[in-house]
Amino acid sequence: MKIPHPIQYQGSKRVLASTILRYLPNRFPRLVEPFAGTAAISVACAARNRAKSYWINDLNKPLMELLGLIINHPAEISNFYETLWNQQHDDPIEHYYRVREDFNRTGDHRLFLYLLARCVKGSVRYNTEGLFNQSPDKRRHGARPETMRENILGVSYLLKGKTIISSLDYKDVLLNVNKDDVVYMDPPYQGVCGDRDSRYFSGILHDEFVMALAELNTRNIRYAVSYDGRTGNKTFGNCLPKNLSLTLIELEAGRSSQATLLKRDAITVESLYLSPQLAEEVAALPYFHRKRKTEQLVLMESRGR
């Protein structure tokens, strides 16, 4: 199945989406993504028609405004990107810096699509004043307008009319989820850059996050969290504590963005934790998902924490 993806974004769960979706119920009323980024899981879920509706949230407001345009006004944003992309040919680098300056001055989120398509590794970086300061990727010119249009129309087709978008802090989202919802959380990696992660507008505090999960447990909310992981023998991020009674699924992610970030050749393994309610519903046990040509499940003993 070809899943559309207009926005390249470091940390996107696009590659792991089909494995993650195995751990969500077959059909459910609403998927909520409090740390949506490019909403890779919502898009993949919609492509399989698994949820009736979607709530996509991320603190990064321009990103959510851009996603809103992609979903609700696909032709407008495709045309805008095409014009901007075509203007870059005389001097692509100079053009990028001009667009970046315009974006920081005006906050026009339409410009953000071009910057994301052109910046180094699709990785958003902000300075201390909150201005976007990532450099252009000198080897690539960004997706061709016709490819971009196809991806934008694909996402719009999947999510238009059934999605709400917001840019709240994740805690405000969690206060408003209910028992019908399935919540997928992919917070910024802690441990690599610390709790205040310069790749995003904000980071999260581990203890606060653990408290929020405990609260969801008491409300019997179904949720899954991508959190810590390991590259070779080195773990990144704090593990989630045992007293949350989560089921740990480990996903071999290959040389993911984390491996690149850590400048190692070792394979990266990412943790996916399932809430008690969700694990029970989908009858999940702790597993290690090996990445193979014919993907295979290997039963694994829990990591003993």
**Residue nearest ligand SAM by beta-carbon distance:** 37
The residues in 206-225 that bind ligand SAM, with binding defined as CB under 6 A, are none
Q: Which of 101, 106, 110, 120 is nearest to 63 (CA)?
A: 110
Complex with ligand SAM: residue 81 or 170, whichever CB lies closer = 170
> Shortest approach of ligand SAM to residue 34 CB, angstroms?
6
Contact 4, 43 (CB under 8 A): yes
Q: Based on C-alpha coordinates, what's the Rg of the chain?
A: 19
Does 54 participate in binding ligand SAM (rule CB under 6 A)? Answer: no
Question: Exactly one of 91, 169, 207, 208 binds ligand SAM (CB under 6 A); which one?
Answer: 169
Contact 176, 212 (CB under 8 A): no
Does 12 participate in binding ligand SAM (rule CB under 6 A)? Answer: yes
Complex with ligand SAM: residue 8 or 88, whichever CB lies closer = 8
Does 11 participate in binding ligand SAM (rule CB under 6 A)? Answer: yes
In this structure, how many other beta carbons lie within 10 angstroms of the beta carbon of residue 72? 15
- Give the contact letters, 23-52, x = binds to ligand SAM (CB under 6 A), - = no: -----------xx-xx-x------------
> Shortest approach of ligand SAM to residue 210 CB, angstroms?
14
> Shortest approach of ligand SAM to residue 200 CB, angstroms?
4
Rounded CA gap, 156 and 50, in Å? 16
> Shortest approach of ligand SAM to residue 208 CB, angstroms?
9
Does 186 participate in binding ligand SAM (rule CB under 6 A)? Answer: yes
Beta strand 247-254 pairing with 287-290: parallel
109 CB-near residues (< 8 Å, 6+ apart): 61, 62, 63, 65, 66, 69
Complex with ligand SAM: residue 154 or 188, whichever CB lies closer = 188
- Half-sphere exposure for 202 (CA within 13 Å, toward CB): 14
CA distances to 247, 274, 282 from 277, in Å: 10, 8, 9
Does 148 participate in binding ligand SAM (rule CB under 6 A)? Answer: no
DSSP string, 21-42: HTTS-SSEEEEEETT-TTTHHH
Count of positions (residues) in the chain: 305
Question: Exactly one of 160, 201, 217, 288 binds ligand SAM (CB under 6 A); which one?
Answer: 201
Rounded CA gap, 128 and 190, in Å? 19
In this structure, how many other beta carbons lie within 10 angstroms of the beta carbon of residue 17? 20
> Shortest approach of ligand SAM to residue 89 CB, angstroms?
29
Q: What are 282's strand-pairing partners?
A: none
> Shortest approach of ligand SAM to residue 186 CB, angstroms?
4
Question: Exactly one of 5, 19, 58, 227 binds ligand SAM (CB under 6 A); which one?
Answer: 58
Does 122 participate in binding ligand SAM (rule CB under 6 A)? Answer: no
> Shortest approach of ligand SAM to residue 301 CB, angstroms?
28
Complex with ligand SAM: residue 13 or 289, whichever CB lies closer = 13
What residue ranges bind ligand SAM (CB under 6 A)? Answer: 9, 11-13, 34-35, 37-38, 40, 58-60, 169-170, 186-188, 200-204
